Amino acid sequence: MKIGIFDSGKGGTTTMSAIKELLPNEEYFYISDHENCPYGDKTDETLYEIVNANVLKLKNWGAKLIVIACNTATTKCIKKLRLDYPDIIFVGIEPAIKVATDSNAKNILVLATSNTVNSKRAHTLINENLKPNQNITLLACPGLADAIEKNSLSEIYNILDTLLKNYNNIDAVVLGCTHYSLIKNKIQTYFPTAKLIDGNDGVARYVYKLIKNLP
């Protein structure tokens, strides 16, 4: 099957690698939408236009299943895409909040773009899954995806230092942006004992099930 995948750059390659591990024989098309990075601070209208252009390209290349390998585009656009393209199967990635709340973590920190942090979906995920004994903080990381995209180490460390240094006793960190999975090791140094969680394996398992059950 032809599988299309896109992100605002290289973050989504982490999702694609997880999918390819389970499904090595499918045909993959990846759009690294570097020139529109970051998605995290675009208005809803601009973001939909950008995302729609990627979907059209992938559809024209023959993709029947499209993975939105971007938490921001998923939380903001997937509902409308499903209505606008009923012939395409869309799979999105969301901050893996449920994985964190299902673990025995007491203090959970969710790192994501401003758009994801401000999305209704992120708050719904928290309201539906947080247990009474758990604390969760949604932390927007403006500039971080862009710094990762540019591979600017000094910017990455500046942003991480400013944002993360005041958080203690964190048991689980949810990487709610696919770009952040690329700097998992750096983030881990701020929380040496915390479990770092991203949504890539969950998405890969979901895509695998979908494809194996297709007629």
Among 51-59, 68-76, 120-128, 154-162, the segment contacting ligand DGL (CB under 6 A): 68-76
Q: What's the Cα-to-Cα distance from 181 to each of 35, 46, 52, 93, 177, rounded to whole Å? A: 20, 25, 25, 13, 7
| 182 vs 55: CA distance, rounded Å | 24
> Taking the complex as a whole, how short is the minimal distance between the CB of residue 119 and ligand DGL, in angstroms?
10
Q: Which of 174, 177, 182, 194 binds ligand DGL (CB under 6 A)?
A: 177
Is residue 15 close enough to count as binding ligand DGL by CB under 6 A? no
| 185 vs 192: CA distance, rounded Å | 10
Q: Which of 13, 14, 178, 200 binds ligand DGL (CB under 6 A)?
A: 178
Residue length of the chain = 215
Residue 38, number of CB atoms within 10 A of its CB: 23
Q: Show Cβ contacts of residue 213 under 8 Å, excluding neighbours closer than 6 positions.
A: none
Nearer to ligand DGL, 15 or 134 (CB): 15
Q: Coil, strand or helix: which one is 84? A: helix
Is residue 7 close enough to count as binding ligand DGL by CB under 6 A? yes
Is residue 101 close enough to count as binding ligand DGL by CB under 6 A? no
> Taking the complex as a whole, how short is the minimal distance between the CB of residue 37 and ligand DGL, in angstroms?
5
Active site (annotated) includes residue 70: yes
- List active site positions: 70, 177
Which positions lie near ligand DGL, rule CB under 6 A? 7-8, 11, 37-40, 70-72, 113, 116, 145, 177-179
